[in-house]
Amino acid sequence: MNQPIPLLKVSGLTKSFGGVIAVSNVSFELKEGELLGIIGPNGSGKTTLVNLVTGFVKPTSGKVEYNNKDITGWAPYKIVSMGIARTFQMVRPFYQLPAYKNMIVPLYSPRVKKLAGGKYGDRDAVALDLLEEVGFERDSHVAYKVAGSLPQGYLKRLELAKAMALRPDLIILDELFSGLSLAEVASIVPIIEKLRFQGITIIMIEHRLKELFRIADRILVLNYGEKIADGPGEEVMESESVKKAYLGSETD
């Protein structure tokens, strides 16, 4: 039987910053529709791996293939147009603009125009719909407030809405839940499950293991830039090297 081509294939990916090897010879594959969780102690290379896949950082060596196309070292805007969207661990909205106006950048992207058949349509309406979808309650008019006045929970939701606006095939969430309360996390989980139900492939970097293990198909573990495990959650947590990596480190 022919194996389907993986949506994403990372081979021997390595990035060194001077003397620090942030990501070291990491390889993995991701099938269409899969939800992959990536965990690892602070500084283990998770964000660098996201930056390598999305073009924000160029690899020292190794390869990134998407839909059987070599996208290694491509510029972020080109990678976005291929259908890969991401959120940032450190949010950086346009603080002076209303939340819904922050949606302009993705909604004006060539990808969105192309998918909409050459027309952008009423972007403000689309922005407000997307924000409602991620939990900006219509009645409270919170989407009209300047981003700088919004608490972290809304800024993280805005990050998610911006990524969703690109109509991605693969969405990468870098610690979307960090800085959020348990109640906020609980209200965002169904949005992620909905994306997955729509067939979107998802990579989630997460410190909240309980929430992650509940929704992920597979967990990949990084430690000091190296992949030390990759498999079903229960299996991965039984691995001696994973236990060792997490001994004495914060996992909540």
Binding positions for Mg ion, rule: CB under 5 A: 46-47, 89
In the three-class reduction of DSSP (H, G, I as helix; E, B as strand; rest coil), residue 137 is classed as coil
Choose the one of ligand ADP, Mg ion, none that binds residue 20, judging by a C-beta under 5 to 8 angstroms depending on kind: ligand ADP
Task: Please give the C-alpha separations between residue 7 and each of 18, 83, 134, in angstroms, as whole numbers.
Answer: 31, 11, 26
Nearer to ligand ADP, 127 or 222 (CB): 222
Choose the one of ligand ADP, Mg ion, none that binds residue 42, judging by a C-beta under 5 to 8 angstroms depending on kind: ligand ADP
Q: Residue 42 interacts with ligand ADP (CB under 6 A)?
A: yes
User: Phi and psi of 36, rounded to 5°?
Assistant: -100, 130
Q: Residue 45 interacts with ligand ADP (CB under 6 A)?
A: yes
Which residue bears the tokens 């081509």?
A: 5
Copy the structure tokens of residue 195: 């994306």
Choose the one of Mg ion, ligand ADP, none that binds residue 87, judging by a C-beta under 5 to 8 angstroms depending on kind: none
Which residue bears the tokens 């081979």?
A: 11
Q: Tell me how far, at minimum, the Cβ of 56 lies from Mg ion, in Å.
A: 12
Q: Residue 46 interacts with ligand ADP (CB under 6 A)?
A: yes
The residues binding ligand ADP (CB under 6 A) are: 17, 20, 22, 40, 42-48
